Structure 1
Amino acid sequence: MAKVELREAPQRVPNRNAVIPAPASHERRSVIRASPIRLWPGVYLLAATHLIAFADRFLIALVAPAMKTALGFSDFEVGLVQGTAFVAVFVLASILCGGLVDRLHRPRFIAASILVWSAASVACGLATSFSELIGARMLLGLGQACLTPLALSLIAERQGRAQLGRGISIYTAGATLGRSSALLAGGGLLAVLPATIAFVPPFGPLPPWRAIFVLSCLPNLVLATLYLVLHDPDRVRTSRQDRPRQHALAWLARHARRYAAHTVASAATILIVQSVNAWAVVLYVRRFGLSMAEAGSAFGLVVVLAAPMGHLAGGWIIDMLARSRPRTAAILVLAGCLAITPPIAAVFGLSDRVAVSLTALAGLIFLLGLAAPAGLLGLQTMTPKPLRGRITSLFIAVVTTVGFGIGPPSIGALSDRLSDYGGIGLAIVVVVTVAALLGLSGALAGLRRRA
C-alpha cells in the first residue's frame, strides 16, 4: 500500500529574517493568509483522532446515571471512575512517553495507542463491578496518554509560526467535537436501541448503556489503519546528533516561575472543562427531570455548536495578539476567560429554567474553548524545540491530574454533602469558581513575569 506523507509548511532557519524558500513579499503575505486546508494537511487527521479519543473518554459521562443504578455506585464513586481512575495511569504514561516522542515512528505509535484504548472501551462496557470498571478506565488512560505530545510534535514542526495558534486550535477543537459526538450519538443510540442488544460471543446480550461502549470502537479501527500506512519522514532523518542536549528538568528549573504560572492557569481551565463535561448531563437529569437521552442530546448539541467556534476563535485571537504581544498573547487569553467564568457558571448551575441554563452553558463552553488552545500554544512558544516532547508530556500529566483527578470527584463529594442546598448544581458552581480564581491568580502572575 502506498505511503501517505504529511507535507511540511516552510520552516524558519537560524537566520530569523530568512524563510526557506524565500518568496517575494507579496508571496509571503499570501502564505500567511492562505487557507488552513492548504497549509495544514496533517492537522485534520490528528483532530479526527483527538475527536475519537475524547468521545471514548467521555462516553461514560452520558451513561453515568444508568451505570450508577446498575452497579450501585455513589456520586463519589462515579467521580472516581470518570476522573481519578483514568488519571492514575494517564499521568505516569504521559511522563514516560515524553522521551519516546522524538525517537519512535509517531504515526505507528498513535495507531498502537488507538488499539489499546479501543480494548479499554470494550472492557468498560463489559465491567460488572467497581474494580473492573476502575481497571478499564486505567487502561483507557494508558492508551490515550501519548496522543497529544505526539500530535503537538507533528504540528509544531510542520506549521508556520504565523498560524500556529490556528493549527493547534483545529486539533483542540477535535476534543470538544469528541465530547459532543459522544453525547449526541450516544444519546441518540440510547433513545432507539432496544432493552437488550444481542452481540456475537463473547459479548452476548447487553443493555444499551453497555452496548454503546462496544459500538464506539468501530471508527477507531479505521483510524488505526490510516496511521499504519502514514509515513513519518522526520524519523528517517533523525540522527544521534539531533537529540536533545539539554535536560528538560534543568530548563524547567531555570524558568520555574514562568512555567508554574502558565501551568496553574491552564490546569484551572482544564479542571473547569472536565468538571462541566462530567456532571452536566447528571445536572439536567436531576434538576430538570430530563431523561438521560434528552439530557445527553441537549448537552451534546450545545457543545457541538459552541465549542468548535470557541476553539477556532481562540486560535485566531491568539495569532492576532501574537503580532504585537508574542510573549503574552496566550496568557492574556487565559486570564480574560478565567475572569468571566464564575458568573456564567453560576447561571448554568443554579438557574431554575432549562433554557436559561442551556444558554449559559453555551456561553461557558464557548469561553472555555477560547482558552483551550492558549495553554498548549503558550507552552510551545516557551519551550525550545528539542525539549518540547518531554516538557509537553510533563505539562499534560500535571494538568490532567488536576483536571480529571480533582475536578469530577470533588464535585461528586461536595454534591453528596449539599443535597439539601442545591445538590449537584451548587457543587459545580463552587468548584468552578474556586478553580477560576486560582487560575486567574496564576495567569496574572504569568503576565507580570513576561511583561
Structure 2
Amino acid sequence: MNSGQGRLSGEGYGWYVVFVLCVCGVVAFIDRQIINLLVEDIKADLLVSDTQISLLQGFAFAVFYALVAIPLGRIADSTNRRLLITAGICAWTVAAICCGLAQTYAQLFFARMMVGVGEAVLTPAGFSLLADFFGPKRLARPVSVFTASSFFGSGIALMVGGYIVNAIQAADGISLPFFGPLRLWQAVFILGALPGIPAAVWFFLSVREPPRRSAPSSLQSSREYRRGFLEAVRYVGNNRRLFLSIYAGISFLAAAQFALGAWIPAYFIRIHGWSAGDIGYAQGFIFLVCATIGVVGGGWLTDAMQARGHRDANLKTSTFGGLLAMPFAVAIPLASDPMVAVALLAPAVLFGAVPFGGGVAALPMVSPPQFRAQLVAFYLLVANILGQAGGPWLVAQFTDRVFADDAAVGWSLMISVPLLLAIGSLLTLSGWRPLRAQLADASA
C-alpha cells in the first residue's frame, strides 16, 4: 500500500469520515423524523386519520427506502461510494423541500417516498466505507457512533422542529422567499431540509474513497461468494438462523423505538395538553442524550465483551437492552403526571437504543467484503418494513381500529412497544449460538 492509500485507510482519517457521516446522518434524520411533531397540524389541514399519518411516518418513506437500498447497496459494492452518497444527499434534500410544497395527502405521500429513495444510499455505502477504514475487531465502535447519529438526528429534529413551530406560531404565520405564504407544517418541512445543501458540499469536498479491503482467500477462491445479488442471497440462506436473529430481531427492537418516536408527541399533545414545541424540546433532549449514550455505550460494551472472549457480545447486548427497556415502556402511559412520563421515557429510550450499537455492528463482521453493502441493504429492507413502517402503523391500528379513539394513543403505546421489544429480544437471543460459531470459524 502506498503512502496515499495508507493515509486514506488509516483509522485517524477513518474517524474523521465517521464524523462527517454522522453529520450527514443527523441531516437525514431531521428530514425523516420532523414529521412526528406535525401530526396534529397535518391531520387538521388534510383531514386524515392516525393510520394515514402512520403511513406517512413509516410506510411511504421506509418501504421505498428499503427497496431502493438493495440495488444501491450493490452499486456501493462496486463503484465510488463518495459520489454515490453525495448524490443521495442532494436527492433527499430536494424531496424534503417538496414535502413542504405538497397541497394534498397524495402529494405529501409521494414526496415522502422520494425522501426515502434519496436517503437509502447513506447507510449501506457508509457501512461499506467504515469496514474499509477499520478492521473487524475495531468496527463496532465506529459503526455504533455512526448509528448513534440517527438517534442524535432524531433529537435534533425534534428540538429544531419544536423551535421552528414555536417561532412560527409566535409570528402568526410565515412567508418564505421563493415559496410565499405557507402553512406551519409546510414551512417546518422546508426549513428542516435546508441543511442538506451544505452537508452535500462538505461530504463531496472532504471525504475520499478508501482502498477496499481484500476478502479472505477462502472467499476469494469460492465461486459461491462472487459479487452479485444471488450469491448474497445464497450466503444469507446458508446462515439463516444468524441472519434471522440480526435482520428480524434488531428490526423488531427498532420498531419499538420508531413507535415511541412517532407517537409520543401526539400522546403528550392529546393527553397532557402540551404544545408541539414543548414536547419537541423534551423528547428531543431525551433522544439527543439518552439514545446517543445507549447506542455508543452499546458499541463500547460490545467491544469490551468481545475483548474478554464473548464472541456473541453483539447480540447479547441487544437482547438485554430490549429486556431492560420493557418495564419503562409499560409505565410511561400509566403515569398521570407528564413530568413522570418524561422521566420514564429517558431509560426506555436509553436501553432501547443499546441494540443499535453492537447489534447492528455484527452485520459487517459476518458479511463477506464482496457484497457487504448488499447485506446491509437487506437489513435495511427488513428494518424499514418491520421497524420504521411497522412500529408506527401498529400503534395507529390499536388507536383507530381496536379503541377507535384518538385519546387512547397511550394505551396503544403501552401494548405495542413492549410487545415489539419482547419479540425482538427473543429473536436476538436465538442468534447467540450461531454468532459464536460464525466468528469462531472466521478466526480459525
The reply on whether 1:344 has 2:328 as its aligned counterpart is: yes
Q: Pairwise CA RMSD of aligned residues?
A: 2.5
Task: Give the superposition deviation at 1:272.
Answer: 0.8
CA separation in 1, counterparts of 2:24 and 2:287? Answer: 18
Q: Partner residue of 2:281?
A: 297
Aligned residues of 1:195 and 1:208 also touching (Cα < 8 A): no
Task: Give the superposition deviation at 1:434.
Answer: 1.6
Q: Partner residue of 1:425?
A: 410
Q: Partner residue of 1:40?
A: 15
Q: Partner residue of 2:442?
A: none
Match of 2:395 among 405, 411, 428: 411
Structure 2 counterpart SS, 1:103: coil
Q: Partner residue of 2:439?
A: none
Deviations 1:308-364 (A, max 9, x none): 111221111010011134530111011101222221101122211111111111001
Q: Partner residue of 1:102?
A: 77
Q: Partner residue of 1:204?
A: 180
Aligned residues of 1:180 and 1:299 also touching (Cα < 8 A): yes
Deviations 1:124-180 (A, max 9, x none): 111111111110110011001111001111111102444322111211111111111
Task: Give the superposition deviation at 1:297.
Answer: 1.3
CA separation in 2, counterparts of 1:302 and 1:229? Answer: 33
Report the residue type matching 1:144 in the other structure: E
Report the residue type matching 1:245 in the other structure: R
Q: Partner residue of 2:193?
A: 217
Unaligned ranges ≥5, structure 1: 11-36
CA separation in 2, counterparts of 1:153 and 1:383? Answer: 10
Aligned residues of 2:92 and 2:117 also touching (Cα < 8 A): yes
CA separation in 1, counterparts of 2:319 and 2:66? Answer: 26
Deviations 1:210-256 (A, max 9, x none): 11211122221111112222453446999xx9996252122111111
Aligned residues of 1:58 and 1:179 also touching (Cα < 8 A): yes
Aligned residues of 1:91 and 1:400 also touching (Cα < 8 A): yes
Correspondence 1:353-372 to 2 at 5 A: 353-372=337-356
TM-aligned CA distance change 1:232 to 1:39, over 3 Å: closer
The reply on whether 1:245 has 2:208 as its aligned counterpart is: no
CA separation in 2, counterparts of 1:236 and 1:450? Answer: 25
Aligned residues of 2:152 and 2:287 also touching (Cα < 8 A): yes
The reply on whether 1:184 has 2:159 as its aligned counterpart is: yes
TM-aligned CA distance change 1:136 to 1:319, over 3 Å: same
TM-aligned CA distance change 1:236 to 1:431, over 3 Å: closer
Q: Partner residue of 2:378?
A: 394
The reply on whether 1:91 has 2:66 as its aligned counterpart is: yes
CA separation in 1, counterparts of 2:14 and 2:379? Answer: 27
Aligned residues of 1:271 and 1:402 also touching (Cα < 8 A): yes
Q: Partner residue of 1:288?
A: 272
CA separation in 2, counterparts of 1:124 and 1:419? Answer: 29
Aligned residues of 1:414 and 1:427 also touching (Cα < 8 A): yes
Q: Partner residue of 1:26?
A: none
Structure 2 counterpart SS, 1:216: helix
CA separation in 2, counterparts of 1:174 and 1:262? Answer: 20
Report the residue type matching 1:254 in the other structure: N
Aligned residues of 2:321 and 2:353 also touching (Cα < 8 A): no
Structure 2 counterpart SS, 1:289: coil
Report the residue type matching 1:212 in the other structure: V
CA separation in 1, counterparts of 2:95 and 2:233? Answer: 32
Report the residue type matching 2:226 in the other structure: R
The reply on whether 1:328 has 2:312 as its aligned counterpart is: yes
Q: Partner residue of 1:32?
A: none
Match of 1:440 among 400, 404, 425: 425
**Higher helix fraction (1 or 2):** 2
CA separation in 1, counterparts of 2:363 and 2:54? Answer: 29
Structure 1 counterpart SS, 2:237: helix
CA separation in 2, counterparts of 1:353 and 1:109? Answer: 48
Aligned residues of 1:7 and 1:41 also touching (Cα < 8 A): no
Structure 1 counterpart SS, 2:287: helix
Report the residue type matching 2:264 in the other structure: A
The reply on whether 1:150 has 2:125 as its aligned counterpart is: yes
Aligned residues of 2:43 and 2:53 also touching (Cα < 8 A): yes
Correspondence 1:11-90 to 2 at 5 A: 40-90=15-65
What TM-score, normalized by structure 2, do the two folds share? 0.89
Aligned residues of 2:95 and 2:112 also touching (Cα < 8 A): yes
Report the residue type matching 2:233 in the other structure: L
Aligned residues of 1:105 and 1:232 also touching (Cα < 8 A): no
Aligned residues of 1:103 and 1:235 also touching (Cα < 8 A): no
TM-aligned CA distance change 1:6 to 1:41, over 3 Å: farther
Stretch of structure 1 that moved more, 171-180 or 38-47: 38-47
CA separation in 2, counterparts of 1:380 and 1:83? Answer: 25
Aligned residues of 2:326 and 2:348 also touching (Cα < 8 A): no
TM-aligned CA distance change 1:141 to 1:6, over 3 Å: farther
Aligned residues of 1:122 and 1:217 also touching (Cα < 8 A): yes
Calculate percent identity across the aligned residue pairs: 27
Correspondence 1:371-382 to 2 at 5 A: 371-382=355-366
